[in-house]
Chains A and B, each alone.
Chain A
């Protein structure tokens, strides 16, 4: 079943058209990787899915995007609730300059949970979910900025999990990290797909092959190819995909 269905979606930044007629169905409880050369619109597309692009002046979007069947741009949709359901992890780890505990509790508190016991539970389970509980359980009151980059990124994943999303959008979540932190995040992501639908932008071809079930290849604002990762990489349908994954351009 598909979690998100996109039909004939175009996006403009002012006069500049950044996405052209995108059609895609993102399958539930699996990992979809977005690959493609720099500037091809991966981040733009990702940010459209949780409507973070709404905040950029001059953005115009046409076409149809459905999350679990509802049009995400329809009037009935509460954008804050949508973003709660469709969480996001950014390229650069961006914990708030607060304690580890407060970072995780921020989302639930925003959504009205004030009970201390309940918050404690949420914080623990989110941190466990992001495989970082054992490392931080003794210093929950310490400032999150004192953690390593890899830990910060897992904290950000935990923070996103704490509001119980259905989907996690990740924009190059490992590009600022060392190889060991990267492989920990990759392992984590593969565990998370049991419960969550994951969409991940990556510049790292091997990473896409290692972790993703489906791969979407973008080029110059177009979705050139979308399919099972194994197929896309072993027998790409489009000549441009083949050129890109074999390193002939990009």
Chain B
């Protein structure tokens, strides 16, 4: 009896420690990012840093303005959402409500596969197909552009949007749909007027999750966006994202340049925290 209790306690303790490790990691990253991100912002000045239009970290008179990266990340994410959400949402409605069980299972495994593909593969295919395609189709000197990044991101966020929306739509009680059909509404009317509104918090959460995915993606956009720190004035501009701004210079940076990269990471981190808070808000509402 005593031994059993001891065992219980030991296991309880072990799980607690494992849990604390996770929490510890998050705390450590937060603290580290804040500590190492602040000095450069102090030195450059918050306004100049956030709203400076020019990034020239290796010039003899270096400039550390990250507005191009911030705008690129915002535009890129918005663009990906504008394409990915309607496509993903319609796919989810189809899969959850209209598809036969066979089609549903085939398509769902395809979606899972899409989710499992590593982002470097997306980047590679994007480079070979999309970048070349854009150059030919729009007759621009370089296809590596904001547009290419938007399309790649839109495809990359599809799986999470589809999966979460399908889960939310599947969870809509059949009674609601029956009631609607029994009133003489057609199935399509029923899905859009009853099922979708009933699943709206889940679908909203899916969208926010997609935003998080898109803003955090680095590898694929580095490969297809051209990775030049331009202001994103046009869809065909070669641009650099917040994520890739950090990753492309980190290896050879030093001094203030390196500190500025940490500051960029801090800005990105704050964006992602904001998105996560939004996501939690929707998920909580879903539960209620």
A residues lining the B interface (CB < 8 Å): 50, 52, 55, 80-84, 87-88, 90, 92, 94-98, 106-107, 110-111, 156, 159-160, 163
Task: Flag if A83 contacts B173 (CB, 8 Å).
Answer: no
When A and B form their complex, which 10 residue pairs have the shortest distance between CB atoms, in order from nearest? A84-B184, A94-B175, A88-B182, A107-B183, A83-B184, A80-B184, A110-B185, A94-B179, A97-B198, A80-B186
Q: A92-B175, A96-B194 are in contact. Are A81 and B180 (CB under 8 A)?
A: no
B182 interface neighbour in A52, A92, A95, A97, Cβ under 8 Å = A52
A97-B176, A107-B184 known, 9 other contacts, Cβ within 8 Å: A52-B181, A83-B184, A88-B182, A90-B175, A94-B175, A95-B179, A96-B176, A160-B182, A163-B184
**B178 proximal to A (CB < 8 A):** yes
A198 → B minimal CB distance (Å): 15
* Contact across chains for A50 and B179 when beta carbons are under 8 A apart: no
Q: Which residues of A contact B284 (CB under 8 A)?
A: none
From B179, B193, B197, residue with most partner A Cβ within 10 Å: B179
Q: A97-B198, A110-B193 are in contact. Are A90 and B184 (CB under 8 A)?
A: no
CB proximity of A51 to chain B, nearest CB, Å? 10
Interface residues on B, range: 10 to 19
Q: Taking the complex as formed, is B189 at the interface, i.e. its CB lies under 8 A from any CB of chain A?
A: yes
Instruction: Give the chain A neighbours of B185 by CB distance below 8 A.
Output: 80, 106-107, 110
**Residues A159 and B197 in contact in the complex (CB < 8 Å), given A94-B173, A94-B176:** no
B204 to chain A, nearest CB (A): 15
Chain B residues in 8 Å Cβ range of A97: 176, 197-198
- A106-B193, A110-B189 as given contacts; A96 in contact with B179, CB under 8 Å: yes
Minimum distance in angstroms from B105 CB to a CB of chain A: 15
Q: With contacts A80-B185, A90-B175, A94-B173 known, is A106 near B198, CB below 8 A? A: no
Can you list 26 residue pairs at the A/B interface with Cβ under 8 Å?
A52-B178, A52-B181, A52-B182, A55-B181, A80-B184, A80-B185, A80-B186, A83-B181, A83-B184, A84-B183, A87-B182, A90-B175, A94-B173, A94-B179, A96-B179, A97-B198, A98-B197, A106-B180, A106-B183, A106-B193, A107-B184, A110-B183, A110-B193, A111-B184, A160-B183, A163-B184
**A-contact 0/1 string along B194-219, CB 8 Å cutoff:** 10011000000000000000000000
Name the CB-closest residue of A to B179. A94
Q: Are B183 and A90 in contact (CB under 8 A)?
A: no
Q: With a CB–CB cut-off of 8 A, which chain B residues contact A98?
A: 197
Query: How far does the alpha carbon of A230 sit from the alpha carbon of B26 in the complex, in Å?
Result: 75
Flag if A156 contacts B178 (CB, 8 Å): no
- Closest-by-CB residue of A relative to B100 is A57
How many angstroms between the C-alpha atoms of A131 and B152 in the bound complex? 58
* Chain B residues, Cβ within 8 Å of A87: 182-183
A contact residues around B186 at 8 Å (CB): 80
Contacts of A80 in B (CB 8 A): 184-186
Q: How far is the CA of A98 from the CA of B195 in the complex (A)?
A: 12
Q: How far, in angstroms, from A111 to B189 measured CA to CA in the complex? A: 11
Residues of B within 8 A of A50 (CB): 182
Least CB distance, A9 to chain B, in whole angstroms: 20
Q: Which of B176, B185, B193 has the most CB of A within 10 A?
A: B185
Residues of B within 8 A of A81 (CB): 184
Give the distance to chain B from A161, nearest Cβ to Cβ, in Å. Answer: 11
**For the complex, what is the distance from the CA of A233 to the CA of B184, rounded to whole Å?**
36
Nearest A residue (CB) for B200? A97
- Closest B residue, CB atoms, query A97: B198
With A80-B186, A98-B197: A90-B179 Cβ-Cβ less than 8 Å: yes
CB distance from B116 to the nearest CB of A (A): 31
Bound: A29/B174 CA distance, A: 31
Q: Distance in Å from the Cβ of B181 to the closest Cβ of chain A?
A: 7
Would A83 and B197 count as touching, CB distance under 8 A? no
Q: Which residues of B contact A110 (CB under 8 A)?
A: 180, 183-185, 189, 193
Closest chain-B Cβ to A29's Cβ sits at a distance in Å of: 21
Do the beta carbons of A83 and B183 come within 8 Å of each other? yes
Cα(A50)–Cα(B184), bound, Å:
10
Distance A111 CA – B183 CA, assembled complex (angstroms): 9
Shortest Cβ distance from A99 into chain B, in angstroms? 12
B152-187 contact mask (Cβ, 8 Å, vs A): 1 or 0? 000000000000000000000101101111111110
Q: How far is the CB of A122 from chain B (nearest CB, A)?
A: 13
Chain A residues lying within 8 Å of B193, measured Cβ to Cβ, are 106, 110
Collect the chain A residues with CB atoms within 8 Å of residue B173's CB: 94
A-contact bits for B126-163, CB 8 A (1 contact / 0 none): 00000000000000000000000000000000000000
Closest to A86 in B: B182
